[in-house]
Amino acid sequence: MLYFHSLNLREFKFVQTLIFAIEEINNSTQLLPGVSLGYKIYDSCGSIAQAIFSGMALMNGYEETLSDTSCSRPLAVHAIVGESNSSPTIGLASLVGPFSIPISHFATCACLSNKKRYRSFFRTIPSDYYQSRALAQLVKHFGWTWVGTVRSRSDYGNNGIAAFEEAAKQEGICIEYSEAIFKTDPEEQFLKTIEVIKKGTARVVLAFMAFGDFVLLLKVIAQHNITGIQWIGSESWITSQNLAETKEYTFQCSFRNSGSDGCTGSERLAELQNEYTDVSELRIVNKVYTAVYAVAHTLHNVFTSSTNTSKGERPTPQKVCKSMKNATNPDHNSDPTHLPVSVCSESCPPGTRKAVQKGRPVCCYDCIPCAEGEISNGTDSSACFSCDLEYWPNESRDRCVLKVVEFLTYTEIMGMVLCIFSFIGVLLTAIVSLLFYLHKETPIVRANNSELSFLLLFSLSLCFVCSFIFIGRPTEWSCMLRHTAFGITFVLCISCVLGKTIVVLMAFRATLPGSNVMKWFGPLQQRLNVVSLTLIKVIICVLWLTIYPPFPYMNLSYYREKIILECNLGSALGFWTVLGYTGLLSILCFVLAFFARKLPDNFNEAKFITFSMLIFCAVWLTFIPAYVSSPGKFTVAVQIFAILASSFGLLFCIFAPKCYIILLKPDKNTKKQMIGK
């Protein structure tokens, strides 16, 4: 049932705007000179049926029913401006489309853009397609990803919310619920919608509704005192200023009463403040004004371009429609201090990723920290990604930083301690060399080839010095020099010790009757022995460096969070051959010294050589498993420790007893004492 006793002030303002525009055009000397525009205004009361009756009346010469002559006479109008709502406009456009040109100032349904169905439809307001996408972008702009929707159960609401949901999906916005109501629905339907809104967790609700539908919903919302909701409106109701609809309501008087509350007829509109008198919002009113002028300019073009206007022939609606298509765009396509938070789940910060909750929309998720070695550098990342091999995540796992490059340095405590001991070793070796040089003519220094003793001291000093090569950033040259220098200097040491051991052993063999063995182990033979044994080691090292030398290597596999900068052995066979050759000479020297340890002599050097070789072999046998199992810079530290320990063992075991006699027991430093037994 339609009620015609009320007045819609907004529609009344549209009517007044139409009349104003027509009168302005009729008074113009530039636009349609000599032609006056007429108009006929019908009120559809928001009814589809009434809109169709009005359209038929306009086509039939203001008659609401068809007659036998209705289709044979010319149409009474050339254009129709209306209707404001989409559903009545669709009915009107379907009816008069083949005959006339409906131009709507306020029908925004995207379905009216279908030119196959509505060939002669024009409008001066953008389609809901653009409004819906703009609303989705607005929601996204404020960070609302969890919203509810309420729509009119009409072409306007259904098409508008469908376009919004499509755009919202592209923007990553989730819809918690979607309710539809219409002004003729029973109260139970409104209460059902209110209950859904109250139970929902979305704090933002989009109301894509016609003005009349939203007014009724708003009254129910006020009755149930629903607060804390951010409403987003479509242009239909968001552009309305108030709900005053009738003059009686406006002036708070009645024409039916003659008492104090009766209308006198002297009420002044200038003193009113309502939607009709409010001129602060004229966006939609301007669409009516534009529509009238669009018709006027089209008619003007038809009159000025037609060859039959001199004969008084009236332009047909078909000509007007064609002219308007050529002149205008048939579907207009132009186009807070505290905000609520409306999300199903809080945003995932950098360093985490989203994990969708099973059985819920994509906007409902848990924030999972990135796995070790992975980062996410944006908010709401759907996945974490690994850093490059040379990078590692920071503590918050939102940025890749360069991995710490680890190698044994001179500035760290372990490196400084090893350097101090190496320096002490060099210093002690220099002191012993000086002491031996000052007492080089004494029996204890001359015994057992003093030349080998000085060569042994020199090689020991080189062993202490080569420890420094292992400390610092590995380079191509330092890697090659480390193992070769270490191997050659140690073989030189062992060769000297081996020479001394053989001399001790052979010296007592020479005391046997008829023995001339010492002629094969004189000073020259001892020198050749040292040189030949060392030369073999040099050849092994040269072959190693030539075929597959050591090189700097960034070990990325041992630790995930840091890089071990080390010297790759190149050829493992070369390294273990160098080490094995040194070990073989050490074992040979130990065995010979062991056999000579009980030879009769007041000063039997073989005993001390045995102890030194025992320490040497123990150190390097322990070195092998420690070297293989030590990580990173500790591998280098283990190797330096082995070099220092074995060098100090040789220095103290062989030279400390001699220094003791030279400095503290000079009375025993005589030839008689040396050969007392």
Contact (Cβ atoms closer than 8 angstroms) between residue 623 and residue 644: no
Whether the bond between 179 and the residue before it is cis, its omega within 30 degrees of 0, is no
Nearest to 647 by CA among 443, 479, 469, 421: 421
Apex 600 CA angle, 599 and 604, nearest 5? 70
Picking from 557, 579, 601, the residue at the C-terminal end of a domain is 601
Using a CB cutoff of 8 Å and minimum separation of 24, what contacts does 329-335 make? 330/115, 330/121, 330/122, 331/112, 331/113, 331/115, 331/122, 331/123, 331/127, 332/123, 332/124, 332/125, 332/126, 332/127, 333/126, 333/127, 333/130, 334/126, 335/126, 335/130, 335/134
| Secondary structure of residue 4 in the 3-state scheme | coil
Q: Where does the pLDDT of residue 251 fall: very low under 50, low under 70, confident under 90, or very high at 90 and above?
A: very low
**Residue 600 banded pLDDT, cuts 50, 70, 90:** low
244 CB contacts (<8 Å, ≥6 apart)?
Answer: 9, 250, 274, 275
Tell me, yes or no, whether 502 and 440 share the same domain.
yes
- Return the pLDDT at 334: 37
pLDDT of residue 353: 93
- Residue carrying structure tokens 């996204």: 140
Of residues 466, 491, 490, the one with CA closest to residue 480: 466
User: Looking at the domain assignment, is residue 36 inside a domain?
Assistant: yes
Residue 113 scores a pLDDT above 80 = yes
264: confidence class by pLDDT, cuts 50, 70, 90: low
Does residue 639 form part of some domain? no
> For residue 137, what pLDDT is reported?
94
Residues 434 and 578 in one domain: yes
Q: Are residues 310 and 423 in the same domain?
A: no
Which run of H or E residues covers position 138?
Answer: helix 128-141
Closest CA to 643 of 579, 593, 590, 553: 579
Question: Which of 539, 650, 525 is CA-nearest to residue 590?
Answer: 650
d(C-alpha 213, C-alpha 183), whole Å: 5
Q: Does 417 lie in the same domain as 391?
A: no
Q: What is d(CA 484, CA 101) in angstroms, rounded to the nearest whole number?
A: 99
Strands 204-208 and 146-152: parallel
Backbone torsions φ then ψ of 572, nearest 5 degrees: -65, -35
Q: Are 569 and 575 in contact (CB under 8 A)?
A: yes
Higher pLDDT, 186 or 613: 186
Which among 583, 608, 610 has a CA at the least distance from the CA of 594? Answer: 610
Token pair in block for residue 46 = 């928001």
Closest CA to 561 of 413, 369, 415, 397: 397
- Nearest-5° Cα angle at 650, 649 to 656: 90
Q: What is the mean pLDDT of residues 109-125?
A: 83
489/362 same-domain check: no
Predicted TM-score (pTM) above 0.85: no
Segments of 153-268 assigned E as strands = 174-181, 204-208, 230-233
My answer on whether 319 and 454 are in the same domain is no
**18 domain residue, yes or no:** yes
Distance CA 606, CA 599 (A): 8
Which residues, including other chains, have CB under 8 Å from residue 573's CB and lie 6 or more apart?
Answer: none
List phi, psi (to 5°) of 247.
-70, -35
Helix, strand or coil, per DSSP, at residue 530: helix
What is the pLDDT, as a whole number, of residue 123? 84
The secondary structure of 48-82 as a DSSP string is: HHHHHHHHHHHHTTS-SS--TTTTTSPPS-S-EE-
Determine the structural domain holding residue 358 and report its residue range: 352-402
In a domain? residue 151? no
d(CA 277, CA 264): 20
Q: What does the pLDDT average to over 240-258?
A: 47
Antiparallel, parallel or unpaired: β 230-233 and 352-356 = unpaired
Q: Rounded to an integer, what distance in angstroms lies between the CA atom of residue 108 and that of residue 89?
A: 10
Domain-embedded: residue 155: no
Nearest to 62, CA basis, from 49, 46, 75: 75
pLDDT at 338: 53
Query: What's the CATH code of the domain at 25?
Result: 3.40.50.2300
CA nearest to 403, candidates 375, 376, 373: 373
Candidate from 504-513, 541-550, 564-573 with smallest mean pLDDT: 504-513
Confidence category of residue 243, pLDDT binned at 50, 70, 90: very low
Question: Strand, helix or coil at 385?
Answer: strand
Position 512 confidence tier, pLDDT thresholds 50, 70, 90: low
Look at residue 250 and tell me whether its pLDDT is greater than 60: no
Show the tokens assigned to 1. Answer: 């049932």
Residue 38 CB neighbours (<10 A): 8
The pLDDT score that the predictor gives to residue 521 is: 60
**Which pLDDT tens digit goes with each residue over 399-408?**
999 888 888 8
Q: In the predicted model, what is the mean pLDDT of the chain? A: 80
pLDDT tier at 420 (50, 70, 90 boundaries)? Answer: very high
Per-residue pLDDT at 165: 94
Helix (H, G, I), strand (E, B) or coil at 309: helix
- Write the DSSP symbol of residue 371: P
Encode pLDDT of 643-667 as tens digits.
899 889 888 888 888 888 888 888 8
Residues 322 and 385 in one domain: no
* Burial degree of 474 (CB within 10 A; 0-12, 13-18, 19+): buried
Do 303 and 438 lie in one domain? The reply is no
Q: How many CB atoms lie within 10 A of CB 16?
A: 13
Residue 620 in any domain: the answer is no
**Alpha helix (H) ranges present in 363-511?**
413-438, 443-446, 450-466, 476-509
- pLDDT band at residue 516 under the 50/70/90 scheme: low
- If one counts the domains in the chain, the total is 3
Confidence band of 14 (pLDDT split at 50, 70, 90)? confident
Q: What is the 3-state secondary structure (H, E, C) of 579-618?
A: HHHHHHHHHHHHHHHHHCCCCCCCCCHHHHHHHHHHHHHH
State which of 546, 580, 601 marks the end of a domain: 601
pLDDT (mean) for 585-614: 74
Stretch (H or E) spanning 552: strand 551-555
Considering the domain architecture, whether residues 547 and 432 belong to the same structural domain is answered as yes
- In this prediction, residue 107 carries a pLDDT of 84
Residues 362 and 469 in one domain: no
Query: CATH number for the domain including 570?
Result: 1.20.1070.10
Contacts of 638 (CB under 8 A, 6+ apart): 623, 626, 627, 630
Look at phi and psi of residue 632 and say left if phi exceeds 0, alpha if psi is from -120 to 50, else beta: left
Tell me how crowded residue 619 is: count the other CB atoms within 10 A of its CB.
19
Q: Is the pLDDT of residue 364 over 60?
A: yes
Query: Domain for residue 555, yes or no?
Result: yes
Is residue 228 in a domain?
Answer: no
Give the integer Cα–Cα distance in Å for 393 and 403: 9
pLDDT at position 618 is 83
- Whether 520 shows a pLDDT value over 50: the answer reads yes
Give yes or no: residues 592 and 466 share one domain: yes
Report DSSP state, residue 256: T
Residue ending a domain, choose from 601, 633, 655:
601
In terms of domains, do 471 and 499 share one?
A: yes
pLDDT in tens, 159-173: 999 999 999 999 989
Model pLDDT, residue 105? 76
pLDDT surpasses 50 at 536:
yes
pLDDT mean over 123-135: 88
Q: How far apart are CA 594 and CA 611, in angstroms?
A: 9
Residues 6 or more apart in contact with residue 177 via CB below 8 angstroms: 148, 149, 196, 197, 200, 202
Which residues are within 8 A (CB) of 574 and not within 5 positions of it... i.e. 6 or more apart? 540, 543, 544, 547, 548
Q: Which residues contact 435 (CB under 8 A, 6 or more apart)?
A: 659, 662, 663
In 3-state terms, what secondary structure has residue 445? helix
pLDDT tens for 38-96 read: 888 888 887 888 888 888 887 776 555 555 555 555 666 778 888 888 888 888 888 87
